[in-house]
Amino acid sequence: MFDNLSNRLTDVFDGLKSKGRLTEDDINVAMKEIRMALLEADVNYKVVKQFTRTTKQRCLESDVLTSLTPAQNVVKVVLDEMTRLFGDEAELKFSNRIPNVIMLVGLQGSGKTTAAAKLAYRLKNSGHAPLLAACDVYRPAAADQLQTLGDDLGVKVFRGDGQHPVKIATDAVKEAVDSLRDVVIIDTAGRLHVDEQMMQEAAAIKEATEPDYVLMVLDAMTGQDVVNVASSFAKRVDFDGVILSKMDGDARGGGALSVREVTGKPIMFISSGEKPDSLEVFHPDRMAKRILGMGDVVSLIEKASVLAEEEMTHAEEERILKAQFTFDDFLTSMKQIRKMGGLASLVSTLPGGDKIVADGKVDESEIGRIEAIIHSMTVEERCKPQIINGSRRARIAAGAGVEVFDVNQLIKRFNETKKMVKKMSTEMQGRKGKKGKKGKRRRRMTLPGGMRMPEELEKLIEQQEQ
């Protein structure tokens, strides 16, 4: 969503870095370009005006202009101000009350029902027992949609009489008490535009259930109109935070940058896809770094850690530590890349990665080719790659619909990866034996699939781990 804005800002910073020292005129030109980039991204003009004024004042301070690296200091100032623009990080904090109630509001089509299911999935994985309340009785099949999502995720859905939203909400709270569900998520009805009936119903449900949190679901692709919608709900319902949906769209993203500054309400979650696990906690500093082309290595590490815990059993871990690496393990790494959003999503979290993806230098089809080649192998060939001779390679290539050259390249990459795994396991065993000694040997890191990780990125990841 922020690709165009990120590219524009990166160009501005590259222009500053080409200058040895900066003058007030250089700052004025840079601020003008930043202002235009934000306006083109559909950021609210009042927000742009305040942002550029504050940023300019800080950039003109003597400790910025007279420093040895003034351009880098300007980037830091812009990063700080953009992080402030997104607001402080906010999280759900549940009380001892049973149940805690979360009420979702928003316009029709904003993604409320899907967001309710994703939030339930997230809470369930965090050890909670959520209950979904289907209070949208107007949109055809809205309750059926929520029921289907709930069944897929293993989350109970309360539908009540299916006619009276306020009664469904209050009965859902009673049901949660009786069935020992500690969180109720209320999916309310929306309209195509803000109207009095929707506001009255939302206010009535809020008064009847006394929710711990009222979260507004906003379609990030709506643009500046997001601000108008959020302001209307803030006056009547007084919500506590925002869930931004459809962050994977190709809109300009200005609404996301404007909503916190205009409404004063924090962005709590963002959603970037249809999968249940695509709802993520919003981190202002990480989003600001992504927009400024600095990547988001912390999120990459967190996501990879979760996948490693989910996918790798203790037996598999022990086998890999003993350097018994097979093509099945290689195939697992490909599946992990897909679960992390694909190769383009993975690369985009690295510093400068968004530009690489935008330039079309990431070939997503490569993962599919690798999977096809491995699936064309027999069980024995996957476990014992050394037996794959010329005739077997020709058969595998024909079965996968690729050239023998592609099979040879994969086997070569596999052997390189196996050597790295063996070296890493040896170093890890060595560190275990020297546990009491100071210092530790640095390990070479690889991306899934055997791709070598740049040394600068390794250092950055090690800093984050520390």
pLDDT given for residue 452 in this prediction: 45
pLDDT at residue 74 is higher than 80: yes
Query: pLDDT, tens digit, for every residue of 9-60?
Result: 888 888 888 777 888 888 889 899 999 988 888 787 888 898 899 998 888 8
The set of residues, in sequence order, having a beta carbon less than 8 Å from that of 309 and lying 6+ positions away, is: none
Q: Give 134's strand partners.
A: 187
pLDDT at residue 110 is higher than 60: yes
Tally of residues, the chain: 466
Structure tokens at 451: 């791709």
pLDDT given for residue 445 in this prediction: 46
pLDDT given for residue 437 in this prediction: 45
**Choice among 123-127, 167-171, 279-283 with the minimum mean pLDDT:** 279-283
Query: pLDDT, tens digit, for every residue of 215-226?
Result: 988 887 766 677
- Interior angle at CA 203, CA 276 and CA 158, nearest 5: 40
pLDDT band at 195 (very low <50, low <70, confident <90, very high): confident
Alpha helices by DSSP H, listed for 87-190, are 112-125, 142-153, 165-178
pLDDT at residue 460 is higher than 70: no
pLDDT at residue 312 is higher than 90: no
Average pLDDT, the chain: 78
pLDDT at residue 317 is higher than 80: no
Backbone angles phi, psi at 245, to 5 degrees: -100, 165
Burial tier of 361 (Cβ tally within 10 Å: 0-12, 13-18, 19+) = exposed
Which residue would you say has higher pLDDT here, 353 or 134?
134
Residues 343-371, mean pLDDT to the nearest whole number: 63
pLDDT band at 316 (very low <50, low <70, confident <90, very high): low
pLDDT band at 436 (very low <50, low <70, confident <90, very high): very low
Residues 147-173, mean pLDDT to the nearest whole number: 92
pLDDT given for residue 393 in this prediction: 93
Q: Give 213's strand partners.
A: 102
pLDDT given for residue 444 in this prediction: 43
- Residue 266 is classified by DSSP as P
pLDDT given for residue 440 in this prediction: 40
Residue whose entry in the numeric block shows the structure tokens 């870095």: 17
Residues 373-381, mean pLDDT to the nearest whole number: 91
Residue whose entry in the numeric block shows the structure tokens 């501005």: 12
Structure tokens at 254: 């200005």
The rounded percent of the chain whose pLDDT value lies above 90 is: 23
What residue ranges define each of the domains in the chain, with the CATH number in brackets?
3-86 (1.20.120.140), 100-291 (3.40.50.300), 297-465 (1.10.260.30)
Backbone angles phi, psi at 139, to 5 degrees: -75, 130
pLDDT given for residue 170 in this prediction: 94
pLDDT given for residue 429 in this prediction: 58
**Choice among 271-280, 290-299, 312-321 with the minimum mean pLDDT:** 312-321
Kind of pairing between the strands at 213-219 and 130-134: unpaired
Kind of pairing between the strands at 446-447 and 451-452: antiparallel
**Choice among 345-354, 360-369, 385-394 with the minimum mean pLDDT:** 345-354
pLDDT given for residue 17 in this prediction: 80
Backbone angles phi, psi at 328, to 5 degrees: -65, -40
**Choice among 14-28, 130-144, 316-330, 440-454 with the minimum mean pLDDT:** 440-454
**Do residues 165 and 135 lie in contact, with contact meaning Cβ atoms separated by under 8 Å?**
yes
pLDDT given for residue 163 in this prediction: 86
